[in-house]
Amino acid sequence: MPLDPTQFADWQIAEAAEENMPSPEEWRERLGLEKDEVIPYGNKLCKLDFLKIIERLKDRPDGKFIDVTAITPTPLGEGKTTTTLGLIEGLSKRGMNVGGAIRQPSGGPTMNIKGTAAGGGNALLIPMTEFSLGLTGDINDITNAHNLAMVALNARMQHERNYSDEELAKRNLRRLDIDPTNVQMGWVIDFAAQCLRNIIIGIGGRMDGYMMASKFGITVSSELMAILAIARDLKDLRERIGNIIVAYDKKGNPVTTTDLEVAGAMTAWMRNTINPTLCCTIEYQPVMVHAGPFANIAIGQSSIIADRLGLKMFDYHVTESGFGADIGFEKFWNVKCRLSGHIPNAAVIVTTVRALKMHGGGPKVVPGRPLPEEYSKENLELLEKGIPNLLHHIGIVKKSGVKPVVCINAFHTDTKEEIEMIRRYAEQAGARCAVSQHWLKGGEGALELADAVIDACKEEVDFKYLYPLDMPLRERVELIAKEVYGADGVSWTPEAEAKAKQLESDPAFKDFATMMVKTHLSLSHDPNLKGVPKGWILPVRDILIFAGARFLCPMTGTISLMPGTGSDPAFRRIDVDVNTGKVKGLF
């Protein structure tokens, strides 16, 4: 029997489930894998050898493909990962061969305000501590590979300053003539460290590096994380890493990792990252963990590699997209699916009664203070004012041709009338609707949701992308802003528009994906605008070029690639029991 999450903390539920968690050898037998297809990492964890498994199963038909997305996030939390895991548990209860893929959490949010991303209640991922604190090292490998590129760049700049062309030639180097004012990359660390957003490096003498302005981003915003999410295999990973633009020379030509002769070593650091890590729900359904979070500043999807494996191994493969449908699902739809060729059979839109009340104008929620009573007592008027946000996200999914299923992630404070109001509006908008109690009851609580998804997967999908690849960049951005976000139009700073025109005129960038960078807290660029804002213009201030991932990333609003740590971060409550070695306070 599952533990009651109203009486037990998540870590206690996870600890109880981990006692019977399958070993790597048991997973091999359960999943019908060959001995050399499972790579053990200790007693609990293992990686799946992607190349060997996909080669053996390449002729097997794909299973059903389900994406989990959500309404615009609020501080109340909508439970997207919890729903993803609960749906997997529910489909298993219905006798389906089911598995899934989710993203690895970043140390930044884990040690900050958000905490871990392992689900909750009886819809949890285990082993929770390992999942939350580094897992099998993919993020560490990305950090090292990324920073190695910066080490190579700064060392090269120092040597070109200190040596003549003849002396460089003796060292088998050619002068790259890098422009110190046009360096594209910075350093990365997987914490939210606002003090590192703008730094000066190379302070000291001529042997202490090249002095210049630099910066840090959070690791999961690295182009290498984006590449891991979209790479199809090791060969593709190596090719994309070699095309990363680190800086430009003084004539405006790109300087790549290949020019710096560091791409091979970067790939060596990342060679093991192409193999997904196998974890599971507390009901022991398999869930792969691969690639990282942050859909507002990155792709925000688990990997194409994990989807390729899951669609061959399972009859139902469930994944999730970061944040709301305006960001995560839009990138899943127009970028990930285009690159992978996979067509989703259904998309689940997670919502809660209380989150919709916030979008309807409910009072601000302050961490550490009691929840305002508007969120725990029936208030149909407030709820109805917030429902347009849900309807907007239903409309986004329907534009793709995918069948939307609204999941009302139930709380004990929800009333029958509130739930029926959401159901009525969702069904009128052309979506299926299900109430799920997976947090409380696990798979048994998710049967209605599982049935709705199974039903949706029976229908044909008239899948279509929002834009063709030959559409110019500015037209794509305008289309996304109007059709997905609901903006009246787009404004460009002079610098951003000049850059866009240059990119549009260069055939090398013609088929690059458009990876929008926008706040997740609003359909607009302004995180304070809730619900469905009207009468606004999307401002674009810059465009990042990810030449390895083949992304053009229009930057909107004031989004930063390095989040900040709040005044009451989670690390204040995390410690280790010195008698047992177990981590406490993490969940």
- Beta strand 98-102 pairing with 316-320: parallel
Q: Is 411 a catalytic residue?
A: yes
Q: Is 80 a catalytic residue?
A: yes
- How far apart are the C-alpha atoms of 263 and 142, rounded to whole Å? 13
- How far apart are the C-alpha atoms of 453 and 92, rounded to whole Å? 12
Active-site hit among 101, 295, 325, 346: 295
| Residues whose CB falls within 8 Å of the CB of residue 438, separated by 6 or more in sequence, listed in order | 82, 83, 85, 86, 87, 89, 90, 121, 122, 123, 409, 445, 446, 449
Do residues 362 and 374 make contact, with C-beta atoms less than 8 angstroms apart?
yes
Q: Which of 135, 129, 130 is nearest to 10 (CA)?
A: 129
Active-site hit among 16, 238, 411, 571: 411
Active-site hit among 314, 439, 512, 551: 439
| Sheet of strand 537-546: strand arrangement | 489-492, 537-546, 551-556, 513-514
Active-site hit among 28, 103, 499, 530: 103
Please give, one letter per residue, the 3-state secondary structure of 529-562. Answer: CCCCCCCCEEEEEEEEEECCCCEEEEEECCCCCC
The rounded radius of gyration (Å) of the Cα atoms in the chain is 24
Q: Is 570 a catalytic residue?
A: no
| Residues whose CB falls within 8 Å of the CB of residue 544, separated by 6 or more in sequence, listed in order | 184, 517, 551, 552, 553, 555
Q: Is 323 a catalytic residue?
A: yes
Active-site hit among 44, 47, 64, 114: 114
Q: Which of 318, 298, 297, 311 is nearest to 340 (CA)?
A: 311
Q: Is 82 a catalytic residue?
A: yes
Q: Is 250 a catalytic residue?
A: no
Active-site hit among 74, 81, 82, 83: 82
Q: Is 114 a catalytic residue?
A: yes
| Residues whose CB falls within 8 Å of the CB of residue 8, separated by 6 or more in sequence, listed in order | none
Single-letter residue type at 452: A
Active-site hit among 44, 47, 80, 441: 80
Q: How many CB atoms lie under 10 A from the CB of residue 466?
A: 17
Residues in the chain: 587
- Beta strand 489-492 pairing with 537-546: parallel
Do residues 210 and 157 make contact, with C-beta atoms less than 8 angstroms apart?
yes
- How far apart are the C-alpha atoms of 292 and 141, rounded to whole Å? 12
Sign of CA dihedral 385, 450, 119, 143: negative
Local structure of residue 301 (DSSP, 8 states):
B
Q: Which of 364, 323, 387, 301 is nearest to 518 (CA)?
A: 323
Q: What is the DSSP code string of 406-466?
A: EEEE--TT--HHHHHHHHHHHHHTT-EEEEE-HHHHGGGGGHHHHHHHHHHHTS------S
509: tokens are: 């960038």
* 258 alpha-carbon distance from chain centroid: 27
427: tokens are: 């069904």
141: tokens are: 């490998």
Active-site hit among 314, 323, 492, 587: 323
Task: Write out the catalytic residue numbers.
Answer: 80, 82, 103, 114, 295, 323, 411, 439
